[in-house]
A and B are shown apart, each in its own frame.
Chain A
């Protein structure tokens, strides 16, 4: 996986290509958004800002994750 997706050439790609690439990488790799940002030469906050501007969902919480959050918050 590392050999396939961690390519230095990514850093040279235009920003819009890197944004599309980041979405694909998040879907197919175990990497977090911040890891992908670093691979593509973005500051993690800037990558998230760019993706939010396109309405890309960054954090998709299913019912189980939501219930976990609610339970954790209840016992805080």
Chain B
């Protein structure tokens, strides 16, 4: 089935940190991301974090999505910026923000950690910032998710998210 959004405009390209990829895998929504985004760029560190975690199921799905050219691994050019951001952030987050500055053909940056999000906002990068919650909200409002909102709210709670559920319930 073609979602409503596909008919009206092209899908954006995103740059994602590790958290979004792993949470979407955990709740069974990683494959649905291709309904929202044309492709997702991840940094080398994000890929390495997943590979070194030993989470086979997650790694297998990522390899499949890399094979389908939906997930693209990108290396950062500005090592000095990465090192500077690593004063406060993990390598994956630092490289994700650096890629946001370097990649001209991506429109969205996906970060979940509030400290990483605050730092990104202070840098004034001209790309839309989203998190797992925002992407799921989009999936609900565009008929991409077939589960009930309550089911996904429960899954997000188990994935470590705490938020006011009422704001999710107008889907």
Contact = CB atoms under 8 A, between A and B. Distances in A.
Interface residues of A, number: 34
A24 interface: no
Interface stretch (B66-74, B75-83, B108-116, B145-153): B108-116
A43 B141 CA distance: 34
B158 interface: yes
B160 A48 contact: yes
B167 A67 contact: yes
Given A44-B90, A57-B162, A63-B164, A72 B134 contact: yes
B88 A45 contact: no
How big is chain B's contact interface, by range? Answer: 35 or more
A59 interface: yes
Contacts of A45: 18, 22, 49-50, 53, 55, 58
Q: Indicate the member of A2, A48, A56, A62 with the most B CB atoms within 10 Å.
A: A48
A33 interface: yes
Interface in A57-74: 57-63, 65-67, 69-70, 72-74
A52 B49 contact: no
Contacts of A73: 130, 134-135, 137-138, 141
Given A34-B91, A61-B114, A69-B137, 18 more contacts: A33-B90, A34-B17, A34-B92, A34-B113, A43-B49, A44-B18, A45-B53, A46-B54, A51-B160, A52-B160, A59-B19, A59-B112, A59-B162, A69-B130, A70-B134, A70-B167, A75-B128, A76-B36
